Amino acid sequence: MAMFRLQSSKVLAVDMTGDAVKAKNGSMVAYDGEMAFKKLSGGGEGIRGMVTRRLTGEQMTLMEVKGRGTCWFADRASEINLVGLQGDKLYVESSNLLATDGGLRTGTEFTGLRGASQGNGLFTTTVEGHGQAAIMSDGPAVVLRVSPQYPLTVDPGAYVAHQGNLRQSFQSGVTFRTLLGEGGGEAFQMRFEGDGLVYVQPSERNTIAGDV
């Protein structure tokens, strides 16, 4: 199995001995040894993954890197976090996924509705199996624990990923920008209940369900 390690907080190094990894297309910045690169269409598993992504708009273009040596990956100087999977499933925004072990399965899963009035579905990228994944964040990610006694509410613009036995739902809410009169459309929040981890970033991306 390929070995993932952080060369710095913004550069991922992967040591391979004939192994393969999947990485965000165009994220390779250097390599030594012998490497072969192949673009993977759709980012999901087979035709079903391609069709699902076409329907949902959850875009994730991956490449397969296979060989012997070390390959370095980075993307727009984003901070990188390593996540170990032991047969469980990681849910991650497609734009925040940098690389995974070649044996991990990637796909797309429906996780709820963005808002009752709009009724737009929310789909997210999934990574499942045994191995490591590297996720990115705009600024150092914060890992927050969710327990049955302490559910967590997250601004969707700051959400990066989650794992564990968590139930995700959406609720209308008021955010700081809404209070200032800068919001547009329907404001909503993501609520997590159960037992697991949620990764958030210290900045907010634009969301399609209004400025939140």
Q: Higher confidence at residue 119 or residue 50?
A: 50
Q: Which two tokens stand for residue 188?
A: 């909503």
Residue matched to tokens 């070390």: 70
The pLDDT of residue 182 is 54
Q: What are phi and psi of 49, to 5 degrees?
A: -65, -40
Q: Using 50, 70 and 90 to split pLDDT, how confident is the model at 51?
A: very low
Listed in sequence order, the residues at least 6 apart from 181 whose beta carbon sits closer than 8 Å to its beta carbon are none
The pLDDT of residue 112 is 63
The pLDDT of residue 144 is 97
* Ordered structural domains, the chain, with CATH: 3-200 (3.60.160.10)
Q: Tell me if the pTM is above 0.85.
A: no
The pLDDT of residue 204 is 73
Q: Using 50, 70 and 90 to split pLDDT, how confident is the model at 188?
A: confident
The pLDDT of residue 52 is 46
Task: Compute the chain's Rg from CA coordinates.
Answer: 18
| SS3 state of residue 191 | strand
- Quote the CA–CA distance of 54 and 74 in Å, as a whole number: 26
Q: What are phi and psi of 190, to 5 degrees?
A: -100, 130
